[in-house]
Amino acid sequence: MNNLQKRNVVLSLFMLALSISAMAAPPKREYYEVKIYHVKDKTQEATVESYLKDAYVPAAHRAGIKDVGVFKPVPSDTMSGKLIYVLTPISSLDQLVALPKTLEKDAKYLAAGKDYIDAPFKNPPYTRIETTILQAFTTMPVHAKPNLKSAKNERVYEMRSYEGHTEKIHQNKVKMFNDGGEVPLFVRLNFNAVFYGEVIAGSHQPNLMYMTTFENKADRDAHWKSFSDDAEWNKLKVNPEFQNNVSKNTSFYMYPTEYSDL
């Protein structure tokens, strides 16, 4: 083997090592901004939806945010017509802080969202916005688009919030998901999760939140039945290490709007 051949072999091995290293490195844990718009009537609801559809979602795409989820409570929910949920996955907290300034410089965003952005004092577009910031779990460091075939308005997206009575016990529940095997269990049972995240800023802490998705309510009920009957879950839930680690469990049922990316 001559020197050129040796050099090519060394270079090939080096490139192979780099490829293996890149494949082995897990993705960085992303962050999630969950905004809940509180609206009082159809006029406010229409204003916020028009802003999200025509201004915010396209501008977020231009800012490098590929997927934005916009959801509304299912029709049977008492909060139907009163809430609009917006899920924005972000790569870093720096991106979160920079996003408002980025939007302010986007002429298309300012024009498309004018009615919302420049709403008069006596005609606000919403009553309040509630915001929660989360960091993705280590076992699912980036979000995923659900693999569903039903019409969007038939789907049921379930976002759950698990609160703990102390920070320490909250971390125990997070460990139950990551190390105890709860996330892999959801994967095996095909719950089509969009994200799992630890709340780092919000009105209900300490807590974690996650979103699973289903074709419809019957599909949702069937999945949870399979979960409750699963031998692995029934073993995990009685594990002494993971007892009494949720003080409050809240579920929010919603469906994606037609312009939602998720």
pLDDT score at 27:
85
Mean pLDDT of 170-181: 97
Q: How far apart are CA 95 and CA 78, in angstroms?
A: 35
Query: pTM (2 decimals)?
Result: 0.88
Q: Which of 75, 89, 83 is nearest to 49 (CA)?
A: 83
- Which CATH architecture group holds 31-256? 2-Layer Sandwich (3.30)
Residue 124's contacts (CB-CB under 8 Å, 6 or more residues apart) are 44
Mean residue pLDDT of the chain comes to 92
Structure tokens at 28: 């960085």
> In angstroms, rounded to a whole number, what is the distance separating the alpha carbons of residues 225 and 221?
6
Residue 12 has pLDDT above 90, yes or no: no
pLDDT of residue 193: 98
Alpha carbon distances (Å) from 208 to 3, 211, 222: 58, 11, 24
Residue 4: DSSP 8-state? H
